[in-house]
Structure formats: C-alpha cells, structure tokens
C-alpha cells in the first residue's frame, strides 16, 4: 500500500499530554513515525516549557485544523511576582531589580479580575508573530526593537488557585490566540511589582481535556506493541460542540457529493453532518437567504 493510501486510511484525533522539554512539532514527528501516517498536524502550539493537552489530527482529519485551532483553551499558570523578564517568562533576562511584593490577596484578585472579558492584548516580543516576513523572536534576538500590534482576545474567566507569594497559581479560560505570558507581564505592571510566567500547563483545548489525553510514554509503548489505535478518537468528536445533523440514505449521498439540502429549522452558522454510523461526513454552512445547508468540506467517501 502506498503512503497516500495509508494516510487516507485512518482519520481521527490523538490527544497527547505533552511533557515539558519537547516542541509541539517534536510530538507530531513521534506520532508520524509511530503510526506510519505522514499526514498529521497539531492544532495549537505549546511552548517547549509548557505541558498539557496537545491535539493532533491524523489523516483526512487534518482538514479540520483551522476549526479546531480556533477553539477555546484553558491553562493552569504559575506566575512569579516581583520581577519581570524580556521574554515574559523564566527563560528571559531579568529587567530591573527584584521588587518587594507588597500586594494583598484581595488586591491581587481585584486586579486579576480586571483582565476578564474582551480585551486588546499585545503579544510578547519573543513570540512567533510575523513582523515584516520574520518571526518576532528572531528580530528580538538580534536586538531589534519589536513593536507588535495588539489583537483582540477574550478571557472568559480568571481564578486564583493558590496564593503563596511571590508565586501564585491561576486558572485561565480564554480564546485561542491569548498569550498567558503577556497576561502575566501585564498583571505585574498593574500590580506595580512586575511579574513573569514560570510554569504553564494546558488543561483543555476545545472539546478535549487532560482526561482525554495520553502520556507520550504510554503512546510510545503502544506504537511498539501495535495497539495505538485504542487512543484514536473519531474525527467527529473534534467539533463536538457544533450542531449535529445525522444524514443517511439519499441525504447522505446528497451531502457526499457536495450538494445543498434544506435547512428545515432555520439554523445559522456551522454544523457537522454525521453518518448513522457516527462518521464525520461533512462540515456544513447555513445559507440564510436560501434556507439551505451548503457542504463546505466533505470527508466521507466510502
């Protein structure tokens, strides 16, 4: 069987509990090698210093990447108060002197909560954002001043988990594209004592939490024993929060060929079409003018 056939034979999701020390790309390469499926990709970079939920799509499911990547995220972040760094985390150079943390828990909570809601956020200078065709971190490492444009983010909730100054642990539930490093830095600025991120663990990405995640060690063992498919989650579950339309018979064939069909309840936005067997058939977009569903991406071909 040629490689293309292998890549199209399996479609689904593997959720990994990424360990500290590996890049997200490293994990994808390990999965490609272990499954012998070259068509694979992650849906949201986790820094090498961060751990937690990394969603990897396999086979035709990689076509879901743009939708899964845009899903909300949740993190457990450990922040050190009293000092700032140029990278906004523990990898960077200290900026200025270490300052006393003269902040009460009540004051910290008050300022923390002020970051909730839809806000503009400036990414860290050492980030992968493109500036004039280069990554911001490349320019920053060359000593160039990096001015990044603010972007709109949404922080749904911020909760204090542990108060042990100068270190605090917070829960961050936010939209995709939120930089927790910037949140830590900006928090320190408002507190007046400086702050930087010293630990980050992603606990949720879209529909998937740490309960769905498999350790890399266990996954590697399953590659050796040949039973890794036990960790493969159906592609349809990657968009489990979308409206679901079950299609069968003639309607299944209609959708499979990319043809429109009536939107009987007048729904708006997007939906996923699922076969009676639970396979992902297509992603649908509602045409509000014609009251029809238009298949945008078709997956089911058997």
Question: What are the mean pLDDT values of the chain's consecutive 10-residue runs (302 residues total)?
Answer: 62 96 96 95 91 96 93 97 93 86 96 97 72 53 66 97 97 96 96 96 96 97 96 93 94 95 94 93 95 92 53
CB 44 within 8 Å of CB 73 = yes
Are 110 and 97 part of one and the same domain?
yes
User: According to the model, what pLDDT value does residue 98 have?
Assistant: 86
Are 155 and 268 part of one and the same domain?
no
User: According to the model, what pLDDT value does residue 139 have?
Assistant: 46
User: According to the model, what pLDDT value does residue 131 have?
Assistant: 55
Are 58 and 158 part of one and the same domain?
no
User: According to the model, what pLDDT value does residue 140 have?
Assistant: 47
Q: What is the DSSP letter of 124?
A: P
User: According to the model, what pLDDT value does residue 181 have?
Assistant: 95
- Structural domain harbouring 144: 73-204
Residues in CB range of 249: below 8 A, 6 or more apart: none
CATH of the domain at 163: 3.30.2350.10
Six-digit token string for 9: 């034979």
User: According to the model, what pLDDT value does residue 133 have?
Assistant: 56
Are 112 and 155 part of one and the same domain?
yes
Are 228 and 178 part of one and the same domain?
no
Are 259 and 168 part of one and the same domain?
no
Are 181 and 263 part of one and the same domain?
no
CATH of the domain at 250: 2.30.130.10
Cα angle at 210 between 206 and 216, to 5 degrees?
110
- Total count of domains within the chain: 3
- Closest of 130, 186, 131, 125 to residue 153, by C-alpha: 186
The residues annotated with a catalytic role in the active site are 47
Bridge partners, residue 41, by sequence = 57
Paired sense of beta strands 270-275 and 130-131, if any: unpaired
Are 183 and 86 part of one and the same domain?
yes
Are 123 and 91 part of one and the same domain?
yes
Domain boundary among 181, 204, 227: 204
- Closest of 83, 41, 44, 39 to residue 59, by C-alpha: 39
Are 197 and 80 part of one and the same domain?
yes
User: According to the model, what pLDDT value does residue 97 have?
Assistant: 83
Are 182 and 229 part of one and the same domain?
no
Are 142 and 31 part of one and the same domain?
no
């Amino acid at each position: 069987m040629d490689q293309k056939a292998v890549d199209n034979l399996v479609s689904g999701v593997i959720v990994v509990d990424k360990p500290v020390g590996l890049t997200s790309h490293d994990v994808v390469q390990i999965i490609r090698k272990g499954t012998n499926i070259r068509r694979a990709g992650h849906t949201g970079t986790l820094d090498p210093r961060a751990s937690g939920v990394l969603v990897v799509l396999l086979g035709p499911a990689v076509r879901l990447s743009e939708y899964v990547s845009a899903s909300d995220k949740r993190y457990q972040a450990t922040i050190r108060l009293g000092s700032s760094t140029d990278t906004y985390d523990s990898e960077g150079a200290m900026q200025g002197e270490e300052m006393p943390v003269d902040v009460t828990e009540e004051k910290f909570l008050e300022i923390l909560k002020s970051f909730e809601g839809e806000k503009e956020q400036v990414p860290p200078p050492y980030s992968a954002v493109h500036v004039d065709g280069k990554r911001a971190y490349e320019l920053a490492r060359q000593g160039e001043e990096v001015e990044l444009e603010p972007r709109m983010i949404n922080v749904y909730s911020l909760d204090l988990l542990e108060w042990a100054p100068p270190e605090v642990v917070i829960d961050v539930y936010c939209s995709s594209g939120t930089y927790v490093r910037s949140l830590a830095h900006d928090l320190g600025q408002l507190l007046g004592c400086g702050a930087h991120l010293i630990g980050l663990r992603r606990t949720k990405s879209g529909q998937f939490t740490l309960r769905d995640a498999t350790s890399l060690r266990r996954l590697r063992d399953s590659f050796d024993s040949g039973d890794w498919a036990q960790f493969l989650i159906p592609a349809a579950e990657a968009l489990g929060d979308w409206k679901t339309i079950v299609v069968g018979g003639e309607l299944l064939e209609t959708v499979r060929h990319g043809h429109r069909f009536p939107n009987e309840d007048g729904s708006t936005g997007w939906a996923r079409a699922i076969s009676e067997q639970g396979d992902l058939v297509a992603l649908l977009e509602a045409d509000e003018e014609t009251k029809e569903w238009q298949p945008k991406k078709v997956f089911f071909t058997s």
